[in-house]
Each structure stands twice: as C-alpha cells, then as structure tokens.
C-alpha cells in the first residue's frame, strides 16, 4: 500500500523532540489489532498506529499501521490487504487471466475499490481501457486518498471508476470485455455479494459480456486444506457448469493466515507452459512481478490432494 502522504508523526520512530530511543518497543507492543479468523481462532498484529478511520453507508473502514505486515486496510473488522503481501493476492488475481489472453485490451473489475487490482492490470501494455465498478464510493475515496501505492493507477487515463452495483452495471452496459475480474467479498449466504457468485449470474450476466476468447477470473475465498470447502470448491464447481475450461489455483498469503484461492474460466483452452508465461510476462508487463512467474503459476495451479479431490 506504500507510503502515506500526510501523517501525524506517529510511528516514525522519533520521540517528541526527534530523539530516538533504543527500547522503543516497550509500549508499542501494548497496542494490538485483533481479527477473528473464525469464531475460535484469532490473529493479532502489534500496532504502530491507527492511521485513518471512516465509514460508508455500507461498511466501516480503517487503515492501520501494523508491525508485522505494514499498512493494513480493514473493512468491517476484516483485513482486506496488507502492504507487505498484497502483491501476492493482486498479482495472482490479475496476471494469469491477462497473460493467458492473446491480447487483453479491455478489462472490467467487479469491486476492486482499493485500486490495487486496477494497478496490476494497468501494468499490462496491452490494456487500453479498465473499468472498475465498486458500489462503495467512500471506500474508493478513502483508498484514493490514503493508499499512495495506488495513486498513480487512480490517475491513469485508461481507468474509469464507476460507482454502482457491478451486476447492474454489467446488465445495463452494452460493452463487452476481454477479461472480467471478480474482486468482491466472499459469497456469504445472505451477504451483499452472494448473488455475484451464482451460476445464473455467471451464465446470464458475466459470460455474455465477454468478448470471443474472453476470460473470467474471480477471487474465490480461502483455499486451505480445510478452508477450501467453505466457498472455493463451490465457486470452482459452479464455474465448471458455465465455462468449458476452468483453472483453480491458490497461494499462501501470510497476512491472511491462510492459503487463498482464485478461479479462472473461459470457453477457450488455457494452454501456456511455464516458459511461455514467463516470456509473455517479459513482453507485456511493465516492471517486475514480485510473486508471479511461470513456475509459480504451475505450482499454484496444481492443487494438493485433499483440495483437488473436493
């Protein structure tokens, strides 16, 4: 998430008078961020500071400066992304789909208000137009204001930000896209995003808006050896009913305390070897990936026995 532009002097390691102090850790470990991963499982980060807090019509939002994972974006008490390892999530969400496409020019992001997904897409030289459609204007404004690492992306003329329900937007829109990316909250029954993970939605809303050869990819919740049964397997199986080719893959994200999953789907086959992926990365992506390369994707898309079987 990069640097914060304006700051209150917290956590810069300087004392009142700019003097440094050796045992500065003493009081700092007194402040903790605590997340309930599940009802019986907690994950706690020592805090440097609470940088910003806010709330929208839909959600509470906070930007914390944590000791183990740097700046962390929290929505409704759940970690969304952490400075030190959000690249794993966003590179995994964006690059496999765009790289497998022969020439991805237009991309639609469902959700993605944080801006990191757009940032990764905009690194692709082929990208001409990126539409980010998030329902929560305050989250988008919050991230625009405070996430310096995505500031350049938010200013990129190829990016169009729309505040709307992604489903409504896709349904009323006339345009089709080369790649559609789902960067939404997990499908909790009764939750706001539930309908954006159904067979009907994929079949009647998403698929018709893909250009020929188009690829759909979505984050797919936790994909750990136990947690994959929550939503990952289900999303994967749902997509298999709608698309001819479906590739699930996963990666361990330290700040999430779990392995995370994504699923990529298309009616065109995914045929690139690790070496071909590497060569497309070199040709098409500006800057260097920190996480994803050909071999990493090979490994990520070979699920472990227990996950594969269910």
Which residue numbers are catalytic?
183
Q: Mind giving me the DSSP string for 178-235?
A: EEEEEE-----TTSTTGGGGSHHHIIIIIGGGEEEEEEEEEEEEE-STTGGGTTHHHH
**Least distance (Å) from a second copy to the CB of residue 143?**
9
In this chain, which of 17, 102, 174, 189 binds a second copy, going by CB under 8 A?
17
Stretch that binds a second copy, among 105-113, 148-156, 173-181, 206-214 (CB under 8 A): 148-156
**How many other β-carbons are positioned within 10 Å of the β-carbon of residue 146?**
21
Phi-psi region of 76 (alpha: psi -120 to 50; beta: other; left: phi over 0): left
* Binding test (CB under 8 A) with a second copy, winner from 111, 224, 248, 261: 224
> What residues between 234 and 273 interact with a second copy by CB under 8 A?
251-252, 254, 257-259
> Is the CB of residue 46 less than 8 Å from the CB of residue 38?
no
117 binds a second copy per the rule CB under 8 A: no
CB of 191 to a second copy, least distance (A): 14
Asked whether position 134 contacts a second copy by CB under 8 A, the answer is no
Q: Is 284 helix (H, G, I), strand (E, B) or coil?
A: helix
By the rule CB under 8 A, 31 interacts with a second copy: yes
Q: Does 168 bind a second copy (CB under 8 A)?
A: no
User: In this complex, which beta carbon is closest to a second copy, that of residue 215 or of residue 303?
Assistant: 303
Distance CA 176, CA 205 (A): 11
Token representation of residue 193: 């995003």
- Between residues 34 and 276, which has the closer beta carbon with respect to a second copy? 34
Could you say whether residue 287 binds a second copy (CB under 8 A)? no
Distance of closest approach, residue 199 Cβ to a second copy, in angstroms: 28
Report how far apart, in Å, the C-alpha atoms of 183 and of each of 68, 94, 217, 279 are. Answer: 25, 10, 9, 26
**Binding to a second copy, residues 71-90 (CB under 8 A):** 71, 73-77, 81-86, 88
Can residue 63 be called a binding residue for a second copy (CB under 8 A)?
yes
């Amino acid at each position: 998430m990069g640097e914060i532009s304006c700051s209150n002097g917290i956590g810069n390691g300087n004392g009142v008078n700019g003097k440094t102090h050796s045992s500065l850790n003493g009081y700092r470990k007194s402040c903790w961020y605590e997340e309930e991963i599940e009802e019986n499982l907690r994950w706690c980060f020592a805090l440097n500071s609470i940088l910003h807090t806010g709330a929208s019509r839909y959600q509470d939002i906070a930007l914390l400066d944590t000791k183990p994972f740097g700046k962390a974006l929290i929505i409704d008490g759940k970690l969304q992304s952490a400075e030190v390892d959000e690249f794993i999530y966003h590179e995994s969400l964006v690059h496999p789909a765009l790289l497998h496409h022969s020439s991805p020019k237009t991309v639609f992001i469902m959700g993605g208000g944080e801006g990191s997904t757009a940032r990764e897409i905009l690194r692709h030289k082929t990208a001409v137009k990126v539409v980010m459609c998030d329902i929560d204007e305050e989250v988008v404004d919050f991230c625009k204001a405070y996430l310096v690492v995505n500031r350049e992306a938010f200013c990129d003329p190829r990016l169009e930000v729309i505040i709307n329900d992604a489903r409504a937007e896709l349904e009323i829109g006339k345009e089709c896209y080369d790649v559609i990316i789902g960067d939404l909250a997990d499908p909790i029954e009764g939750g706001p995003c539930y309908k954006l993970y159904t067979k009907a939605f994929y079949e009647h809303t998403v698929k018709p808006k893909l250009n020929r050869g188009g690829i759909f990819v979505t984050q797919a919740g936790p994909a750990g050896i136990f947690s994959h049964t929550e939503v990952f397997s289900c999303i994967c199986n749902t997509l298999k009913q709608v698309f001819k080719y479906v590739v699930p893959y996963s990666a361990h994200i330290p700040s999430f305390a779990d392995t995370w999953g994504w699923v990529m789907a298309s009616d065109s086959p995914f045929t690139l070897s690790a070496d071909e992926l590497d060569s497309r990365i070199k040709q098409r992506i500006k800057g260097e990936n920190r996480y994803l390369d050909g071999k990493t994707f090979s490994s990520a898309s070979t699920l472990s026995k227990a996950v594969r079987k269910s």
